[in-house]
Chains A and B, each alone.
Chain A
Amino acid sequence: MLFLIILILSFICGFFLPWWVASVVAFLVAFFIGKTSLPSFWSGFSAIFIVWAALALLKTLPNDNILAGRVVQLFPLPHNWIWLLLVTAVVGGLVGGMAALSGVLIKKIFRS
C-alpha cells in the first residue's frame, strides 16, 4: 500500500514539481501510513526507483538511447546506457527510501 501510494503520487508530482519533492512525498506518506522501518525504506526505495526508471525510459526509448549512450561516457561506468538508467533509479530510490524511513521513524517518536 505504502509502495503504491508513493509510486502514484511521486509519478504525478514528477511532471510539474522539482525532483526532490519525491522525498517529501515519500516522507509524508510513510509518516501517515508507514508502520515498520525496514519495509518502509524498501517501499520508498522501490517506488521512486520505479518512477524514475519509468520516467527516464519514457524519454530515452523514443530517442533510441542516443543521448544516454553519450552521457554515460561522462561517468566512470561501462559505456552502456543501461548503467546510467540504473544509477538514476538507484539515486532516486535512495532518496525515496531514506525519506520514507525518516517519515516512519519520526512518526514513532510522536507515537511514544
Chain B
Amino acid sequence: MKFVKAFFSVGITFLLIWVLETKLGDIPPLGEFLNPVTGFWQNAESKNIMPTENLRLKGLYGKVIIKYDEHRIPHIFAANDHDLYFAQGYVTARDRLWQMDIQTRSASGRLSEIVGPKALEIDQYHRRTGMVFAAENALKGMFKNPVSHLMIVAYTDGVNNYIHQLAPENYPIEFKLLDYAPEEWKPINCALLLKLMSEILAGGSDQFGMTNNLKRFGAQAVNDLFPDYPFHEDPIIPIGTKWNFKPLPIPKPSASFMAQMTEGIKTHEIIDGIGSNNWAISGSKTANGYPILANDPHLDLSFPSIWYQLQMSSPTVNVYGVSLPGSPCIIIGYNQKISWGVTNVDAAVLDWYQIKFKDDTKSEYWYNNQWSKVKKRIEVIKVRGGKPVIDTVLYTHHGPVVYETEAKKPPGHHGNIPVGNAMRWLAHDESDDIMTFHLLNRGKNYNDYREALKYYTCPAQNFIFASSDNDIAITPNGKFPLKFKDQGKFILDGSDPANDWHGWIPAEQNPTIKNPPRGFVSSANQSSTDPTYPYYINWKFEQYYRGKRINDRLGAMKNATADSFRKIQTDNYSILAQDVLPTMLKYLDRSKMNNDHLTALAIVTNWNKHYDANSVGASIFNKWWIKLYDTIWRDHFAVKGIILKTPSYDRTEKLLLTEPSSYWFDNVHTPAKESGSDIVNIAFNSTINEMVKKFGKPGHKWQWGLVKKTYINHLANLPGFGTGEFFAGGTGGVINALKNNNGPSWRMVVQMGPVVKGYGVFPGGESGNPGSFYYSDMFKTWKDGKLNELLFLNSATDNSKRIKSTLVLN
C-alpha cells in the first residue's frame, strides 16, 4: 500500500513537471513561462532606471557614449564609424531583438521552423519568390563597397555581442511564448530586411487580373477602363516641367502574343490606398525664411513599432531620425544641413513572363528561338514537429518560376500541365541601397543629395529634400527598367527577347525638380510626371487625392511653421468627396425617402467632407461611395473562378461625372437598363437601410471613428499586446491615411535654419518589450496628432535635462 501511494505520488509529480515543461500546441511550456525565476515575470522592467551603466564589449575600437532621453531614444556618440554602427546594432538588438529575428525569419521563409506547419504556405511563398536569392545578391553588392561592408559587419557584430551575453531568462518575452532561442545574426539578415521592404512596397502585381480583363472585355474596353494616365491628376513633377536631357531611344513593343492565363496564381494584389506623404516648402513661404520638410510613411502599423528612433554621431556624421531594426543607418531624418524623407513610387519593377518548357522535366525553356537551361534551387523548409519540406524552385534568366502548377493543382483537375510564369523582379538584382543612406546621413547640400540617390535601386522612392542653403527638391528615384509603353501591364511572353527589360533609364534622367517656381515640392505616391516624360515608369500610380489636397494647402500657405505642417499631416479632408458628392446628391430622388433617409441625407449634405472621428457624414458618404462603386462594377468584374482587376476610383469618378448613361452602369443581371442616377439611388438606399439595421437611427453610433475600425496589433497578434480598437479619424484617400491597422508609421517635420529643429513621433515606443514603460509611451501623442520635439545633441557633453541615463560601451 505504501508502495502504491508513493508510486502514484512520484508519478503525478513527474507528470506535472513534464506537462509544465512541454509545449502543447501553441501553448508554451507553462512551468518555463510562469515561474518567476526564468519565466515571463523576468521581462517586467523596473521603473527605476540606472543613471549610468558601463559595459565591456569585445570588438569595439574605442569608447562609445550613449545618452538615453525621456523616451529612451538613444543618442550615440562614437569615436569612429565602425564603433557607431556597432553601437547601433547593439542598442537596436537590446530593444528589438525579437522583431529583428521574426522579420528576417519571415523574409527568408523560416517561420515554420518555430511555429510549425501553419506557416508553411507563407514560407513557401517567400522561398519561391526568391527572397533569399534577392538578399544574397544584395549582400554581394554591398560587400563590393568597402563602406557598406564596414557598416554591415560592424552592425552585425554589435547585434551578436548583445545576443551572446543574453541569458535565457532575459530573452524577449516572445521567445518564451513561442519557445525558441535567438540565433546568431548574419550579415544577410540586414539584406533580408531591405528585401522585406521591397516586397511590401514593390512586390505586388495586377498583371493576372489585367490579362484576364483583356481576354474577357477586349482591348478597347480595357484601354478605356484602365487608362495609362488618370482622369484627375496632380503629378509630383509639376505639369509642364521641361525635360533638359536627351532621352535614350525607347524600345519597340514586341510583336509577340499575349500570354495565356491558365491558373489562379496567388501573389498579393496591389492594394490601393497604401502610400505615404512628403513635402517641403521653400524659405520664401515660411515664417523664419528657411525651408520646412515633412514626411509620413504609411505602413501596416504594429507593435513593436516599425521604426527605431535614434541619433548617431561620429567624427564623420551627426544625424537624427528613424532606422529599420536590422539595418544600419538612418532611413528618414535630418542633420544640421539637410533633411530628407521618402514615399513609395509605384514603379513597374515586377513583371511576369510566361515560360514554355521543353518537357516535363522542366530543365529547359524556350527563349530566343532555342532551348535554355533552367537553374534549379533546392529549398529546404524545416518544420517544427514535422519532417522538412523540400521544394525545388526553377530559375530562368528572368527569375524564379514562382508557382509550379503541377504540385499545386487541385486534385481531379486533369489536362495539360499549365505553364508557370517567371517573375522578373528588380529586387533580385545586385544592389547597394544602403550606401544612399550612408551618404544622405552625411549630406551637406543639394549636390550630396543627388550623389546619394545614384546608389538607390529598389523599392523606388520619392526622395524629398530640404537644406539650410534654402534648396528644396524631389526625385522619384530608383533603378527604372527601360521599357516600351505598357510593357508589363499584361503578362509577357518569356520566349521573346523583345519582351526583356531593355536596360535602364539613366539615373540622372530620373524625374527630378529643384526649387520650382510654386515654392514647394510634394509627393503622395501619385504619377511621377505628366505624360510628356519620355520614359515609361508605370501605367498606374496611387490616385491623386492626397497629393491634390497637399498641393492645395501648400499653394495657399504663407509664413509656414512646423506647426502648420503638423496640421496638414493630420488633415482629414476628402478630395474624392469634393469631386463626387455634389453629383451623387444631384442624382438622388427625394420623393420616396423615409425619415431615416431624409435625416441621413441632411447630414451628408451638410458634411464638411472631413473624415473626422466624430463625423457622421463621413460614415454615410464612405459607405455610399463604396456601395456605388461595387454596384457599378460587381456584375461585370466579380466572376467566380477568374481573377479580374476592377477599375480604379479615378475611372469610376470619370464614369459618374462624364458618362452618366454608360453601358457599365447597367446591371447585366436585371432586365431593366440602369443609368448612373439609378445606381446612385440604389446605393444610397441600401447604405442607409444597412446602417439603420446595424447602428440604429442616424446618431452618435454612426460616428466615423466608431464605424471605422482602427487598431494596432502586436506582430504576433497577441491579445493584450496591442492597442485594441481606438477612436480615430482619417481614411485611405486623405492625408491622414489612417484606416484599420494601416497609416502614418512615423510623422516627422523638420524646420531648417541656422539651428535645425526636428519634430516627430511614431505610434508605439522605442522598446519592443511589452513589459517596458517605453513600449507604447509615444502612442497617445501620435493618436492625438501631436509631435514630440526631437532632441538633437551636438556632442556627448552637450547637457540636456531630457537625458535620463547614460550607457558607456568600451
Contact = CB atoms under 8 A, between A and B. Distances in A.
Query: Are these two chains actual partners, yes or no?
Result: yes
Interface in A58-112: 58-60, 62-74, 79, 87-88, 91-92, 94-95, 98-99, 101-102, 105-106, 108-109, 112
Contact of A74 (B35, B39, B718): B718
Given A88-B34, A91-B34, A74 B719 contact: yes
B720 A73 contact: yes
A71 B3 CA distance: 42
A23 interface: yes
B31 A73 contact: no
Interface in B25-73: 30-32, 34-48
Contacts of B173: 67, 71
Given A74-B720, A88-B41, A95-B20, A66 B773 contact: yes
Given A19-B31, A108-B6, A102 B13 contact: yes
A109 B41 contact: no
Contact of A19 (B12, B32, B47, B770): B32
A19 B38 contact: yes
B35 A19 contact: yes
Contacts of A27: 13
A92 B2 contact: no
B90 interface: no
B16 A18 contact: no
Contact of A95 (B5, B17, B39, B43): B17
B21 to A, nearest CB: 7
Contacts of B46: 62-63
Contact of B719 (A56, A73, A99): A73
A14 B37 contact: yes
Contact of B771 (A63, A72, A73): A63
B9 interface: yes
A55 interface: yes
Contacts of A58: 36
A19 B46 CA distance: 22
Nearest to A51: B36
Interface residues of B, number: 40
A109 B7 CA distance: 10
A87 B34 contact: yes
Interface residues of A, number: 44
A20 interface: yes
B720 A70 contact: yes
B168 to A, nearest CB: 9
B10 interface: yes
Interface of B, secondary structure class, is helix
Nearest to B15: A98
A17 B425 CA distance: 52
Nearest to A37: B5
A60 B44 contact: yes
Contacts of A79: 720
A105 B177 CA distance: 36
Chain A CB count within 10 A is highest, among B17, B34, B46, B47, for B34
Nearest to B776: A66
A70 B720 CA distance: 5
Contact of A63 (B3, B47, B718, B719): B47
Contacts of B719: 73-74
Contacts of B45: 63, 67
Contact of B16 (A19, A37, A56, A94): A94
A14 B9 contact: no
Given A88-B35, A98-B13, A66 B5 contact: no
A55 B17 contact: no
B725 to A, nearest CB: 14
Given A63-B44, A70-B721, A99-B13, A112 B20 contact: no
Contact of A112 (B2, B9, B718, B770): B2
Nearest to A52: B36
Give the residue among A55, A65, A79 with the most B Cβ atoms within 10 A: A55
Given A19-B38, A55-B37, A102-B13, A109 B30 contact: no
A91 B36 CA distance: 11
A98 B35 contact: no
A59 B36 contact: yes
B558 to A, nearest CB: 46
Contacts of A109: 2-3, 6
Nearest to A88: B34
Contacts of A14: 36-37
Contact of A72 (B38, B43, B720): B720
B691 to A, nearest CB: 31
A95 B36 CA distance: 14
A83 B38 CA distance: 19
Contact of B2 (A99, A102, A108): A108
B24 to A, nearest CB: 14
A65 B773 CA distance: 10
A102 B6 contact: yes
B39 A102 contact: no
B30 A105 contact: no
Contact of B41 (A18, A68, A91): A68
Contact of A88 (B6, B12, B13, B36): B36
A1 B20 CA distance: 28
A83 B217 CA distance: 62
Contacts of A98: 9, 12-13, 16
B173 to A, nearest CB: 8
3 A-B pairs with the lowest CB-CB distances in the bound complex, closest first = A73-B720, A67-B771, A19-B35
Interface of A: 14-15, 17-20, 23, 27, 37, 52, 55-56, 58-60, 62-74, 79, 87-88, 91-92, 94-95, 98-99, 101-102, 105-106, 108-109, 112
Given A66-B770, A98-B9, A105-B9, 4 more contacts: A67-B45, A95-B31, A98-B16, A105-B2
30 contacts: A18-B38, A19-B31, A19-B35, A19-B37, A23-B17, A27-B13, A52-B35, A55-B41, A59-B36, A60-B41, A62-B46, A64-B773, A65-B44, A66-B770, A66-B771, A66-B773, A67-B40, A67-B43, A69-B720, A70-B720, A71-B720, A73-B719, A73-B720, A88-B39, A88-B41, A95-B13, A95-B17, A101-B13, A105-B5, A105-B6
